[in-house]
Amino acid sequence: MPIAQPIPVPHAVPPAVPAIRKIGTEDLSWALSEGWKDFKSKRGDLVLIGIIYPLVCLIAVIFTFNDPLLPLLFPLIAGLSIAGPAVASGFYELARRREAGQDSRWRHFLDPLNGRSRAPLAALTGGLAALFIGWLVVAYALYLLTFGADAPHGISDFLGRLFSTREGWMLIIFGNLAGALFAVATLVFALVSFPMVVDKPVDAGLAVRTSFAAARKNPWEVFGWGMRVSGLLLLGLLPAAIGLAVVLPWLGYSTWHLYTRMVER
């Protein structure tokens, strides 16, 4: 009697990454221009949403403005930009609706959290949270390695020693290098993934793979975009982060348009 052969179980094959276009620096300028048009078309309706971010920065300053948490003041404010792609999901939705000729009023800002995008957005936001926590851990570890037990007392002592001692300059140099690495990781992880899950019924894994593929095909353009984003965020922090109320919506809309140039839809 012949022995029955086991039936092979097919392995799940991850869905293929969509085609990625090669872009140029002119596409970066185009995306910013289109994003500015989107922002102006809202007549400032969403500036109030942009103000939430400066308020979070202010709370972070108040929360860390004491001796035990003082070393985390600058890393916390700088690291809050990691959450930008998650906050901008509503702007991606409004830009998508405006592009499709649909109602793009502010009441649709939270639509991604109520539909098919909710689960992948939650997964991607979890990834950003992990990056944010990792950045704070690394920043505090660098502080301990440089200042050690001889910790500064108060903001004036901290700032004085930061810019006038060897340990302070080591903290500045290595802290900025670590921050740059986390910024690059965040950019590659989130540049395409967040707008993609708002745009299409895809899971977070495919969206992240697509974002990495886009960065591999356009490394210098992605680097150039990161420099533009960093410059605009820096301008938005002055004065007192009020400018972020304009910069954040503008970058949100612009990132959507850059996604549409990079990924075949």
Q: CA 19, CA 135: separation in Å to the nearest integer?
A: 32
pLDDT in the model for residue 147? 83
Helix (H) or strand (E) holding 61: helix 47-64
- Domain ranges in the chain are 25-35+43-99+112-262
Higher pLDDT, 213 or 157: 213
| Average pLDDT over all residues of the chain | 84
What is the reported pLDDT for 44? Answer: 53
10-45 tens-digit pLDDT: 555 567 899 999 999 999 999 999 999 988 886 555
C-alpha 71, offset from chain centre: 23
The pLDDT value given to residue 223: 96
Contact residues for 13 (Cβ-Cβ < 8 A; gap 6+)? none
Q: What is the model's pLDDT at position 236?
A: 79
Rounded CA separation 79/76 (Å): 5
CA angle 78–79–80, rounded 5-degree value: 95
What was the pLDDT predicted at 78?
73
Give pLDDT, residue 64.
63
pLDDT tens string 209-222: 999 999 999 999 99
**pLDDT given for residue 105 in this prediction:** 81
pLDDT tens per residue, range 65-119 = 665 666 777 787 777 777 778 888 988 998 999 888 888 887 888 888 888 889 9
Q: Label residue 160 by pLDDT band (50, 70, 90).
A: confident
Is the pLDDT confidence value at 124 over 90?
yes
